[in-house]
Homo-oligomer: A and B are copies of this chain.
């Protein structure tokens, strides 16, 4: 069996673990509902249990380290989970120290959006590109930037907090307290809220029928739009305009080779894409308009394989595509992809 990494994706709802190969293939997966209200010790015990399960099921695995992602804010260099809003009782937890003592293995930590950006860059939609911005549009909006072969971290690993980029003066107040955050107007939550306001329970609309007359979610909007519902199509149009404004900012600020859209709302990417593209054509300066906007490819394993790559690709500024091409001795390709 080839060299593997243990990978964990610690979410507020689910804790997932995997054994991952250098090429990004997941050899084995396990998961458990996160004991999110029980404090860090309980959750770390869950991580240890899942790791033991994986290692027992694969006794011949040559595990070289543990790559881990968790919700921000966290300090990837210091290896500290600072205090994620979705995990009660986590305050400056030195997760790398704890896990490396427990397992006697090197441990690397990254925030979940950055890990997913790495995953998509090395093994998914961003293979072979020199740089990308990964945007996850879901309950909130998060992001990760890959440039020059590395995660763009900034001070204390806090760069690419793109959900709290102000893009307008209108809309509902964001949970962060400001008005006009990208997340407050363009997240899946914002889309669901607009759909809920547009309709009333029992009005017979497709949106309310899909939601059993409860609050309408972004998922219901996508489903109704696919069925041709006019109100849902209008909501998708407005949503795509907000995404287009935000993505245009990301083009101007980071000038990536590619924008990759992930998160729950990327299930509706095909519906959103034409208006996202039209908005960029309208708003971005000429030189940025040809940058591709593509859907994520790895779904919920992007964070896991990205975290694993922190171990398996440590210090290597490369993507899986570059690796394959190098193996085929077309070594020029790797340099080209890093240009």
- Interface residues, chain A, with chain B CB atoms under 8 Å away: 73, 77, 82, 130-131, 147-148, 150, 152-162, 164-170, 176-178, 180, 245, 248-249, 252-257, 282-283, 285, 287-288, 291, 339
Complex contacts, A150 vs chain B, CB 8 Å? 148
The complex places the Cα of A160 from the Cα of B257 at a distance, in Å, of: 14
- Report 8 cross-chain contacts, Cβ distance below 8 Å, ordered by A residue: A148-B150, A152-B152, A165-B253, A168-B168, A169-B170, A176-B285, A178-B248, A253-B253
| A178 CB → nearest B CB, Å | 5
**Contact residue among B165, B253, B283 (Cβ-Cβ distance under 8 Å from A160):** B253
Q: Cα distance A177–B162 when bound, in Å? A: 24
Partner of A287, one of B153, B156, B254, B283: B156
Q: Establish whether residues B178 and A282, one from each chain, have CB atoms under 8 Å apart when the complex forms.
A: yes
Q: How far is the CA of A130 from the CA of B157 in the complex (A)?
A: 13
Bound complex: CA A152 to CA B158 (Å): 16
9 A-B pairs with least C-beta separation: A154-B255, A159-B255, A158-B255, A161-B252, A178-B283, A155-B255, A168-B169, A165-B249, A164-B252
Q: With contacts A178-B282, A285-B176, A287-B73 known, is A256 near B155, CB below 8 A?
A: yes
Residues of B within 8 A of A285 (CB): 161, 164, 176
Name the distance in Å between A78's Cβ and chain B's nearest Cβ: 10
What residues on B are CB-neighbors of A147 within 8 Å?
A: 152, 154
Q: Taking CB as reference atom, which chain B residue is nearest A171?
A: B169
Contacts A154-B131, A253-B160; A180 near B165 (Cβ below 8 A): no
A218 to B157 alpha-carbon distance, docked (Å) = 37
A283 to B291, CA, bound (A): 30
| Chain B residues with CB under 8 A of A245 | 166
Query: What is the minimal beta-carbon distance from A186 to any residue of chain B, in angstroms?
Result: 12
Partner of A253, one of B161, B248, B291: B161
Q: Which chain B residues border A159 with CB–CB below 8 Å?
A: 253-255
Chain B residues with CB under 8 Å of A154's CB are 131, 147, 254-256
Shortest distance from the beta carbon of A122 to any chain B beta carbon, whole Å:
19
CA–CA, A253 to B161, complex, Å? Answer: 6
- A166 and B255 contact, CB distance less than 8 A: no
